[in-house]
Chain A
């Protein structure tokens, strides 16, 4: 559960949103860790996106309402060399600091590292939201992979908001009769306890060499049982209802993109606000994007590749506006004296600088006061081409994981250690 909320439990207003009746209390370190939201959009931003001397400038205008909560970073380079094809190498390197092989990262991504370290006491150690993340791209390449749980093991994002809704909320939202909710927990508990018995029974029949496999399986069943026990007494009085849009075919249509993106954003914000997870990712489309929103002259990938500057800016504006809406949602959740955005770190970026596959500079937006780590309300212009792995290390530190020396496998000076300039 989200125990950053613990601090606010005494404050009026919190209980109105979420009523977590906690069975077990987490450790203090976990309680204090903020939420983290990682957002990706494809094919970078047209050069000239950088804020002007005074104000954010026309290209980032939509973010103006949150400029005090925003750190714009200009000058970080991507983890990969620019001559490689950033469509296959960018996504698996951007959150891992890995030199990918065959489109797969050789390291887990930071969301996974954090889920392992601080996610274990949340009902969901982390959640991966997607918006057309698996829709076939214009090149027909398989969906690039952005998040990894182990070397070569990508974690897909879920594109269907109905599936996400059911996975996360069907059991906890008080839209259903509470007794039904309890029954659904009892069902799962009954089944898991049966499976537990079967595993113990099978364990006696296998060889000593094979026993550890079933022991590990038993351990994970018991871990799920504990997580359910924490979840069963949680209720979340949100206005959220089952999304109307869903189904594989529907969510891959151009027309559905904006709605699905906003619904996924709502689900993400509610999951954080109800303490169901601390770590969420939101992947908008993918690097080889076939998305063509109304008013766009061609599919996103083609526009960013070889359309005139004005077209590319048009495409960019959509993503900036989406990010602004997401920040607005986080800011509007009142935790009693602070907003959810105050307790969250949002990091938004792309797998390449612009559609020409370059990696210098990759645009980065950090928003929200979570962890009180980043000095906000400014643009940071970096010299000397530091690699984005240094920001990844800073994010680990901001999440309370200060024992992490460096993220990624690059060992040159520009890649090692945290990015102290952000503080």
Chain B
């Protein structure tokens, strides 16, 4: 019986409904619902027999994906070389886990209307000299120039025919060649050829180039990637690896770090999370600087391999903007350089979990929230999702003067209905208590008592145990076997843009293995993911 299976029993016995992410044992989320009073172990819907990896590990089929707001904005501005502001006007993206994917729901009418307006605005920005062709001999060139980058594939003869007809109609309606070309651009933007990532059942090299570019850069392929795909460079593992390496070194790949860490730690909410006005240091600049710190720190480790997953969790350095120094309680050094790592104040912070961005998002508007922080660790880092119970959750008693947060949350222990879940959540959260609602370190609480940050990890893992402060907790999380696998699982969600199914069990297993073999190097993980048969369509490397 696998270790994760024990975990389910543990939660179930406690009367807490925990869901392990699918992808290893079953097609459906493993969900065990039990009344708190039930004491016997429930029969398990999971079965070791099914864990044998299927012989050909190709993963589930890739769904049709519609460009996300970010992809749409970047792909459009790269293809036409004009500024585009799309994100704000479009309805929100549909997500897979915490990552924008647009892979299962159809578009809404409001999305379609917004795209129409966006196409009209954007086409008007294309410089007129690029729309001036009115001779047959420049027609094909102009079409290549305008439409091919938008559609991100070679134009077939039948494409050219329908576009030629459209041009003629546009010329008739607008009376000018420029008008006809503007109309072509508008139509090309609104076509499914731009708005979706259309793929054939046997992935072509051009389509793989698109997958790589959208995964690593959140936009379409550049000329070099295109040339590589045309020349067959993506059809061998060596050629593919070389191209991935080149793309990861490109500054555009910083978007990959940003998308991952923003989704993984819920940082997109940082720009809107409300804070009480008494937090004078928490202004728009501080919000931006907080996010920037975490993204730059993550990117240094993920793409430049300045450490590995352990470093992410346990680093005693960070990369700070000037605006964040007051929140860290640091004076501005004379030779301040935002690019140079800063050593964290000793004993206060440790790794990415102690970043102000993470602590700020997982707090209430006024104070730190052990509940939000504990849930985040379970859900995002350990892939243990605790369902809200199907009962009305009673309010916590009003705070009484002089009461500590731990005393106020004591009801979570005394009430069996609460304790069922909160016995797992709250102890994790208490380890973060020295970091307040905007992630400032404090040694005393509002009442002047010393901070009580005695917490514990208790998830049914060998790494369980007491954890006072964020350092002890981060180390225990790092030692939890589920943590590494959950981290890989999150990357798969981002990379594949769909929830994992049973067919992905072998993919998860192999990626986790190679990640561990590579000493938890994230750049290796990203590369392996992009080279996996489910992503690249290339056959697997022969396994020893």
Contacts and interface: CB of A to CB of B under 8 A. Distances in A.
Nearest to B398: A83
Interface stretch (B17-25, B190-198, B247-255, B310-318): B190-198
A207 B64 CA distance: 8
Contacts of A88: 274, 365
Given A139-B277, A215-B106, A194 B116 contact: no
B63 to A, nearest CB: 6
B91 interface: yes
A245 interface: no
B166 A202 contact: no
A213 B195 CA distance: 12
Contact of B169 (A156, A190, A216): A190
A141 B275 contact: yes
Contact of A188 (B116, B166, B285): B116
Given A140-B284, A149-B91, A183-B174, A191 B64 contact: no
Given A88-B274, A139-B277, A186-B173, A220 B192 contact: no
Given A140-B283, A207-B64, A202 B106 contact: no
Contact of A216 (B107, B272, B282, B365): B107
Given A142-B272, A220-B108, A220-B112, A206 B64 contact: yes
A31 to B, nearest CB: 22
Nearest to A104: B272
Nearest to A137: B284
Contacts of A320: none
B287 interface: yes
Interface in B53-91: 61, 63-64, 66, 88-89, 91
B109 interface: yes
Contacts of B110: 149
Nearest to B104: A213
A140 B360 CA distance: 14
B275 A139 contact: yes
Given A140-B283, A197-B162, A213-B64, A223 B173 contact: no
A307 interface: no
A154 B110 CA distance: 12
B219 interface: no
B173 A183 contact: yes
A23 interface: no
Contacts of B198: 202, 205-206
A176 interface: no
B497 to A, nearest CB: 13
Given A198-B193, A210-B64, A221 B283 contact: no
A11 interface: no
B183 A223 contact: no
Contacts of A217: 106-107, 112, 192
Contacts of A191: 119, 183, 186-187, 190
B358 to A, nearest CB: 15
Q: How large is the interface on B (under 10, 10 to 19, 20 to 34, 35 or more residues)?
A: 35 or more
A137 B91 CA distance: 23
Nearest to A124: B113
A85 B364 CA distance: 10
A205 B64 CA distance: 11
B276 interface: yes
B149 interface: no
Given A207-B64, A210-B64, A153 B91 contact: yes
B200 interface: yes
Interface string A173-212: 0000000000100111011101101110010011101101
Interface string B168-205: 01100110000000010011001111001010110000
Contacts of B61: 207, 209
Given A88-B365, A183-B174, A141 B193 contact: no
A224 B116 CA distance: 10
B322 to A, nearest CB: 17
Interface of chain A, main secondary structure: helix
A23 B276 CA distance: 54
Contacts, number: 116
B92 interface: yes
B282 A140 contact: yes
A192 B274 CA distance: 42
Interface in A82-106: 85, 87-88, 102-103
A223 B269 CA distance: 34
Nearest to B274: A88
B271 interface: yes
Contacts of A149: 91, 110
B292 to A, nearest CB: 15
Size class of the contact patch on chain A: 35 or more
A371 to B, nearest CB: 26
A197 B91 CA distance: 25
B107 A213 contact: yes
Interface string B97-125: 00000000111111111001101000000
Contacts of A190: 166, 169-170, 173, 183, 187
B190 A216 contact: no
Contacts of B92: 152-153
A219 to B, nearest CB: 8
B227 interface: no
Given A153-B92, A210-B63, A220-B107, A194 B187 contact: yes
A221 B276 contact: no
A81 to B, nearest CB: 10
Given A183-B174, A190-B183, A85 B276 contact: yes
B283 to A, nearest CB: 4
B241 to A, nearest CB: 29
Contacts of A167: 117
Contacts of B112: 217, 220-221, 224
Contacts of A187: 170, 173-174, 183
Contacts of A192: 116, 190
Nearest to A211: B64
A296 B355 CA distance: 40
A136 interface: yes
B113 A224 contact: yes
Interface string A369-380: 000000000000
B155 interface: no
Nearest to A191: B187
Contact of B200 (A139, A141, A205): A205
B44 interface: no
Interface in A219-241: 219-221, 223-224
A140 B280 CA distance: 10
Nearest to B105: A213
Nearest to B175: A183
A185 B272 CA distance: 39
Contact of A102 (B63, B169, B269): B269
Nearest to B269: A102
Contact of A85 (B272, B287, B365): B365
Nearest to A205: B198
B363 to A, nearest CB: 12
A153 B190 CA distance: 23
Contacts of A221: 112
Contacts of B66: 213
B516 interface: no
A209 B104 CA distance: 9
A313 interface: no
B330 interface: no
A156 B88 contact: yes
Interface string B459-494: 000000000000000000000000000000000000
13 contacts: A103-B272, A139-B274, A140-B284, A140-B286, A156-B88, A167-B117, A186-B173, A188-B116, A191-B119, A194-B162, A194-B166, A207-B64, A207-B201
Given A85-B274, A209-B61, 15 more contacts: A139-B277, A140-B283, A140-B285, A152-B92, A186-B173, A190-B166, A198-B191, A198-B192, A198-B193, A202-B192, A207-B64, A213-B64, A217-B106, A221-B112, A224-B116
Cβ-closest 3 pairs across A and B:
A216-B106, A88-B274, A142-B272
